Amino acid sequence: MDQLSSLREAILIGDGGAAARAAGEALAAGVSPVDVIAEGISPAMGEVGQLFEEGEYFVPELLIAARATKEVFAILRPLLAETGARPAGRVLLATVEGDLHDIGKNLVGMMLEGAGFEVVDLGVDIPASRFVSAVEAERPQIVGLSALLTTTMPAMKTTLEALDAAGLRSQVKVMVGGAPVTQRYADSIGADGYGDTATAAVELARSLIGRQDAEASQG
Ligand code: B1M
């Protein structure tokens, strides 16, 4: 796991080249692309967030760490795409309206792709109306909403309400996540599930697809 320690250090100092090299070495040593994310990038970005909270890091450090992860994703993405035969399901993923945070959402998307899901990533600051039109166009089984601000969490509720008003709510399972989101909040807005980490989001997506298949077979 030395390569994952080097990857972590490279992300912490925002050295994209070193991060990409460490990730390449981890892959060559037999670490799976999913583990590079779950055991390398994800905890490193969690640590970057923590250092920011503690006043050790400032916005520039955050942004160069995030940029370093992008260089690693560029290597991982084609490998993750190779994994599955039939997609495990289609997930429409985005950060809700008013919210520009995408590091966690991107990790969730990459982990889902690694688990064989087809991910349609709408990006950040996505209004409820865009979710509605994208559900109509893409026909996902799951909609994943990410929010990092307490002020944007209510946009999750608005999005669920918009899906309901458009008659689409029963056609999709909705999962929510992001640092301020809790199971209790997810329950209070009528979401189908909450994931506290990218790994949990993958497990949740699998179980939601299972639930949806069971409901469909009951007619
Ligand atoms: Co912002 N920011 N930020 N920020 N930022 C927070 C969230 C904050 C807690 C920092 C603080 O002040 N202590 C605070 C929110 C406070 C609150 O809401 N009460 C905050 C603020 C205030 C702001 C601004 C308003 C600052 C300002 O301008 N005054 C501004 C808002 C911009 C906007 O969105 N409109 C802002 C801006 C930024 C940056 C642009 C500088 C940058 C974002 C860069 C980017 O994303 N491209 C940034 C960052 C990086 C952070 C912190 C430091 C780190 C977030 C992060 O990436 N964490 C954050 C503090 C913190 O969380 N410690 C903070 C790492 C990431 C891997 O974790 O995103 O939690 P996370 O994702 C996890 C899980 O939550 C989960 O899986 C991921 C991996 O395990 N998960 C899901 C996430 N989405 C999921 C979806 C799922 C399931 C699981 O299902 C669909």
How many residues in total does the chain contain? 219
Q: Are residues 194 and 134 in the same domain?
A: yes
Give the chain's domain count: 2
Q: Are residues 95 and 78 in the same domain?
A: no
| Cα–Cα distance for residue pair 205/219, rounded to 1 Å | 21
**Do β-strands 118-126 and 173-177 pair in parallel, antiparallel, or remain unpaired?**
unpaired
The per-residue pLDDT for range 126-153, each reduced to its tens digit, is 999 999 999 999 999 999 999 999 999 9
The pLDDT score that the predictor gives to residue 99 is 98
Q: Are residues 151 and 49 in the same domain?
A: no
- Residue 152 in 3-state DSSP? coil
Of 30, 63, 83, the one marking the end of a domain is: 83
Q: The dihedral of CA 167, 173, 79, 72: what is its sign?
A: positive
pTM of the model as a whole: 0.89
Q: Are residues 73 and 100 in the same domain?
A: no
The per-residue pLDDT for range 40-78, each reduced to its tens digit, is 998 898 898 889 889 999 888 988 998 898 899 889 888
| Cα–Cα distance for residue pair 80/123, rounded to 1 Å | 19
| Cα–Cα distance for residue pair 133/69, rounded to 1 Å | 30
> Does residue 39 line the site of ligand 1, with CB under 6 A?
no
| Cα–Cα distance for residue pair 128/155, rounded to 1 Å | 8
Q: Are residues 143 and 210 in the same domain?
A: yes
> Does residue 102 line the site of ligand 1, with CB under 6 A?
yes
Q: Are residues 62 and 97 in the same domain?
A: no
Answer with the residue of higher pLDDT: 115 or 25.
25
Of 83, 110, 135, the one marking the end of a domain is: 83
> Does residue 64 line the site of ligand 1, with CB under 6 A?
no
> For the domain that residue 53 is a member of, what is the CATH number?
1.10.1240.10
β-bridge mates for residue 144, sequence order: 93, 175
In the reported structure, the alpha carbon of residue 32 is separated from the centroid of ligand 1 by a whole-number distance in angstroms of 27
Q: Are residues 56 and 114 in the same domain?
A: no
Average pLDDT score over residue span 20-29: 96
The pLDDT score that the predictor gives to residue 204 is 96
Which of 53-62, 76-85, 164-173 shows the highest mean pLDDT?
164-173
Considering only the C-alpha atoms of the chain, give the largest distance between any 2 of them, rounded to a whole number of Å: 55
| Cα–Cα distance for residue pair 41/35, rounded to 1 Å | 9
Q: Which domain holds residue 194?
A: 90-218
Of 57, 83, 109, the one marking the end of a domain is: 83
> For the domain that residue 155 is a member of, what is the CATH number?
3.40.50.280
- Model confidence at 1: pLDDT above 80: no
Q: Are residues 101 and 161 in the same domain?
A: yes
In the reported structure, the alpha carbon of residue 99 is separated from the centroid of ligand 1 by a whole-number distance in angstroms of 9
